């Protein structure tokens, strides 16, 4: 019997769904049974694989996630929000409290939980499909041929920019001036962490001139270690290629845009994710 799957969307941006819609080979097989973005159906039927996108952020998310996993053999956390709570974790807890208090004034809406959480804080997860969002190619590979998918170890190997002997002594930020289209972004003074980020995305961001921010999470070398070890690894890369002070790199890595992704596996449960589960 062909494999059936469903897509459950919790608090997120629909970007994962929009990406999945571009991976349309599943249409011929009619295997997609539930996905409220494009299919009107009230309940999740029995499926082999449940893809969960978005974070657990409202009491409604909590209820729907717990109910949905009862109908699925395998549960996949898709995208940064489902892996770690994602972008809603930017900012301090005080600000989240402010939101919570604001929602108290509105009646009959699902209440916010105290923190935006990844789904494995609520239900067991069989697989993690990382990326913000994962590419259509990764969706297809996960759904139909996870064993035969192969990618280099890190984004750096997919990028194609050339390394030079240029050693910048400061980070230039994203908005300094024109970039060379062919030279490694690190040689041009950008905080790019493609050297240790899980590959498979084909490096669209660094190719377009934006540093890799690590949305796919750490490569297998670091996935089962603490995020401090990943941060040290990144700093070693910068020490090898630049004269930028390690403190400057560290501050950059702890800024919201990077920390959002760098710390996605480093966290609340204290248990490292088995690298065989991370796709």
Partner 1 sequence: MATLTVPLSRIEGHARAVINFRGGEVLSAHFQATELRGFELLIQGVPAEQVPVLVPRICGVCSTAHHLAAVKALEDACGIVPPPAAVQIRELMMLGQLIQNQATSLFLFTMPDFSGVEGQPSIFHLGDEHANIAPRALAIRRLGTKLITLAGGQFIHPVRAVVGGVASGLDPAAMDALRRELTDGLAPAMELVDLNWAMFEGLRDRIGTLGDDEPAYYLASVYRGHSYYGSSIRVLAPDGTEADSFTARDLSDHLELRPIEASYSDGIMFRGQILRANSLARLNLLPEMGTPVADGLLARFRSEWGYPAHAILLFDLARCIELIYCLERAVELLEKDLTHAELRAPCYSMEGEGYGLVEAPRGPLIHHYVISGGLVEQARFVIPTQYNILAIERALEVAARRYITDAGINLELERAVGRVVRAFDPCIACATH
Q: Smallest gap, in angstroms, from Cβ of residue 271 to partner 1?
A: 27
Q: Is 221 an interacting residue with respect to partner 1 (CB under 8 A)? A: no
Report the b/e string of 197-206 with b at 16+ CB within 10 A: bbbbbebebb
Q: Is 155 an interacting residue with respect to partner 1 (CB under 8 A)? A: no
d(CA 118, CA 150): 26
Verify cis geometry, omega within 30 degrees of 0, for the bond prior to 133: yes
- Report DSSP letters for 16-51, one per residue: HHHHHHT-TTHHHHT-EEE-TTT---SS---EEEEE
The binder of partner 1 chosen from 8, 65, 123, 132 (CB under 8 A):
132
Q: Is 204 an interacting residue with respect to partner 1 (CB under 8 A)? A: yes
The binder of partner 1 chosen from 152, 209, 233, 246 (CB under 8 A):
209
Query: In angstroms, how far is the first alpha carbon of the chain from the final one?
Result: 24
C-alpha distances in angstroms, 255 versus 88, 113, 135, 236?
15, 24, 25, 19
- From 33-41, 44-52, 142-150, 227-235, give the range in contact with partner 1 by CB under 8 A: 33-41
| Number of C-beta neighbours around residue 43 at 10 A | 8
Q: Is 122 an interacting residue with respect to partner 1 (CB under 8 A)? A: no
Which residue reads 């494999």 in tokens? 3
Is the CB of residue 45 less than 8 Å from the CB of residue 33?
yes
The binder of partner 1 chosen from 114, 146, 160, 173 (CB under 8 A):
173
The binder of partner 1 chosen from 6, 7, 16, 156 (CB under 8 A):
16
Site string (79-98) toward partner 1, x via CB under 8 A: -------xxx-xxx--xx-x
Q: Is 67 an interacting residue with respect to partner 1 (CB under 8 A)? A: no
DSSP secondary structure code for residue 276 in this structure: G
d(CA 200, CA 153): 8
The binder of partner 1 chosen from 48, 60, 166, 232 (CB under 8 A):
60
- From 19-27, 192-200, 220-228, 231-239, give the range in contact with partner 1 by CB under 8 A: 19-27
Q: Smallest gap, in angstroms, from Cβ of residue 209 to partner 1?
A: 3
How far from chain centre, in Å, is Cα 246?
A: 25
Q: Is 17 an interacting residue with respect to partner 1 (CB under 8 A)? A: yes
Residues lying near partner 1 in the complex (CB under 8 A) are found at 9, 11-19, 21-22, 24, 27, 30, 32, 36-42, 57-58, 60, 86-88, 90-92, 95-96, 98-99, 103, 106-110, 112, 116, 132-133, 135-136, 173-179, 181, 204-205, 207-210, 213, 255-257, 260
């Amino acid at each position: 019997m062909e494999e059936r799957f469903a897509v459950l969307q919790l608090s997120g941006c629909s970007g994962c769904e929009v990406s999945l819609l571009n991976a349309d080979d599943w249409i011929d097989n009619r295997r997609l049974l539930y996905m409220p973005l494009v299919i009107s159906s009230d309940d999740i039927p029995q499926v082999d694989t449940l893809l969960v996108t978005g974070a657990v952020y409202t009491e409604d998310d909590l209820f729907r996630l717990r109910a949905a996993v009862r109908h699925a053999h395998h549960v996949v956390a898709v995208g940064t929000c489902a892996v770690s709570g994602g972008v809603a974790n930017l900012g301090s807890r005080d600000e989240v409290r402010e939101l919570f208090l604001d929602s108290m004034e509105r009646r009959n809406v699902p209440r916010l939980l105290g923190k935006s959480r990844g789904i494995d804080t609520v239900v067991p997860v069989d697989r993690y499909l990382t990326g913000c969002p994962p590419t259509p190619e990764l969706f297809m590979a996960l759904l139909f041929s996870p064993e035969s998918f192969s990618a280099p170890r890190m984004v750096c190997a997919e990028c194609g920019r050339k390394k030079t002997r240029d050693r910048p002594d400061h980070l230039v930020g994203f908005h300094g001036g024109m970039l060379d289209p062919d030279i490694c972004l690190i040689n041009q003074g950008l905080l790019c962490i493609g050297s240790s980020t899980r590959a498979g995305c084909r490096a669209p961001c660094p190719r377009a001139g934006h540093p890799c921010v690590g949305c796919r999470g750490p490569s297998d070398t670091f996935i089962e270690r603490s995020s401090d070890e990943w941060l040290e690894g990144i700093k070693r890369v910068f020490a090898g290629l630049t004269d930028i002070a390690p403190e400057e790199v560290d501050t950059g890595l702890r800024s919201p845009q990077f920390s959002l992704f760098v710390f996605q596996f480093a966290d609340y449960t204290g248990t490292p994710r088995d690298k065989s589960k991370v796709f």
